[in-house]
Structure 1
Amino acid sequence: MNVIVCRARRYSIRRVMRCATCKTRRRMLVQDEAWYGPTVTCCHCGESWQDGERSPRSNKRGWRKEAAAEATAKWLAAGPYDRAAHRAWLAQETGVAA
């Protein structure tokens, strides 16, 4: 029996939005995935949401700090938003012209 496990590539987008957990405006990392939609992660508290619902939390100690640090690093690496590049990426991932 052969099993192939793969994960969709993500396109990182920087946003400043209101965090439902922090109750204030925070830096948020939005990671768009073809076919699955965006996942939003707060760079301050590490909480994530997908399709408007909070993502499951880890049982691991210190998960918030790790998630926030990872989101912050990806947020910094994402750079300014380029709509044309995002559309081109989405067209390449889905095979559908934008």
Structure 2
Amino acid sequence: MSVIVCRAPGFPVRYILRCPTCKQRRRFAGRDYAWYGPTLTCRGCGDSWSNGERHDRPRRRGWRALEIAAAKELWDEAGHYTKADHDRWLMQEMGAA
């Protein structure tokens, strides 16, 4: 039996936003998706958000440290792109449909 998992291509993004969990301005990193909007992770607490809703928290020890580390890597990756790069990517994605 074969299993195929499809995921939309995303573009790395970073923002400074007020974290609902931390109750202060924090760095958020994530991926933007043309049809779904961005999924962002707070670099302070590790909570992730999409469309104003917090994602479920994993039920495993040490998950916050892992999520924060992944968000820091994504923050660095997103730093290589400009808003123009993002706009170009979004237009290509929208045109592909």
Q: Which runs of 5+ in 1 are unaligned?
A: none
Matched residues in 1 for 2:95 and 2:76: separation? Answer: 29
TM-score (ref. length: structure 2): 0.86
Correspondence 1:1-98 to 2 at 5 A: 3-79=3-79, 82-95=82-95
Looking at structure 1, the residues matched to 94 and 63 of structure 2 have their Cα atoms a distance apart, in angstroms, of 32
Hey, what's the Cα distance between the residues in 1 that align with 2:9 and 2:15?
Answer: 19
**Equivalent pairs: percent with the same residue?**
52
For residues 38 and 4 of structure 1, do their structure 2 counterparts lie closer, same or farther at Cα, with a shift above 3 Å needed? same
Number of equivalenced pairs = 97
Distance 2:81 2:24 in 1: 22
Gaps of 5+ in 2: none
- Please tell me whether the aligned partners of residues 30 and 71 of structure 2 are also in contact (alpha carbons under 8 angstroms): no
- Displacement of 1:4 after TM fit? 2.7
Q: TM-score, normalised by structure 1?
A: 0.86
Is contact 1:14–1:80 with CA below 8 Å preserved after alignment?
no
Give the alignment's Cα RMSD to 1 decimal: 2.0
